[in-house]
Amino acid sequence: MGTIKVILAGMAAGLTATVVLSFLMLTKAWLPQLDPVVMLDGVARAVFSDLEAPVPLAGWLWHFIIGTLWWGPLFALMAPILPGKRMWQKGVSFGFGAALLIMLMIVPLAGAGYFDMALSPLQPLITLLLHLIYGAVLGTVFQRLAAGPALQ
C-alpha cells in the first residue's frame, strides 16, 4: 500500500478513534475534574492570545485536529516499528507514548502540572486510560482500513 493511502487510512482511523474518545469524554461522569477539551481550549488561547472562538470551540477543534490529522498519520507511519504483534497492540503502544507526551508537554501548558498532578493523583491514570483506548481503536480501525495481512 502506498504512503498516501497509508496516511489516509491513518487519518480515517484517527477520526474514528477521536469520535470514540469524544463520546467517552462527553459521558464523563466517571472523569472527575478532567475536561481535556477545556484544557486544549486554554492551551490554544495561551498560544494564540487573540483567538476569538467561543469556548470551548477552540478546544474541540484542536481535539479533532490532533486526533485526526496528527496522531492518525503519525501512527500510520510508525506502525511498522511500534511494539506489538497485532495492530491494536501497536495502537496501545502508540497511545501510551501519546499519553506520555501529552502529560509532559501539553498538560503543563494548561496549568495542570506534569502528569495532571495539580488536579488529582487519579488524573494520570485517567489520561493514560483514555489514550490507551484511543490507541486500541486507532490500531483496530487502521488494520481494517489498510487491510492487509502485510500490516499485521
Any domain includes 152: no
Helices (H), the chain: 3-26, 36-47, 57-64, 72-78, 87-101, 107-109, 123-146
Any domain includes 79: yes
Any domain includes 60: yes
Q: Give the range of the structural domain holding residue 130, as residue numbers without chain letter.
A: 3-146
What's this model's pTM, rounded to 2 decimal places? 0.78
DSSP letter assigned to residue 13? H
pLDDT in tens, 38-64: 555 555 555 555 556 555 666 777 778
Any domain includes 117: yes
Q: What is the percent of the chain with per-residue pLDDT over 70, rounded to a whole number?
A: 69
pLDDT at 30: 52
**Mean pLDDT for the chain?**
80
Any domain includes 99: yes
pLDDT at 82: 96
Q: Please state the domain count of the chain.
A: 1
Any domain includes 102: yes
pLDDT at 124: 82
Any domain includes 21: yes
Q: How long, in residues, is the chain?
A: 152
**Residue 26: pLDDT over 60:** yes
Any domain includes 72: yes
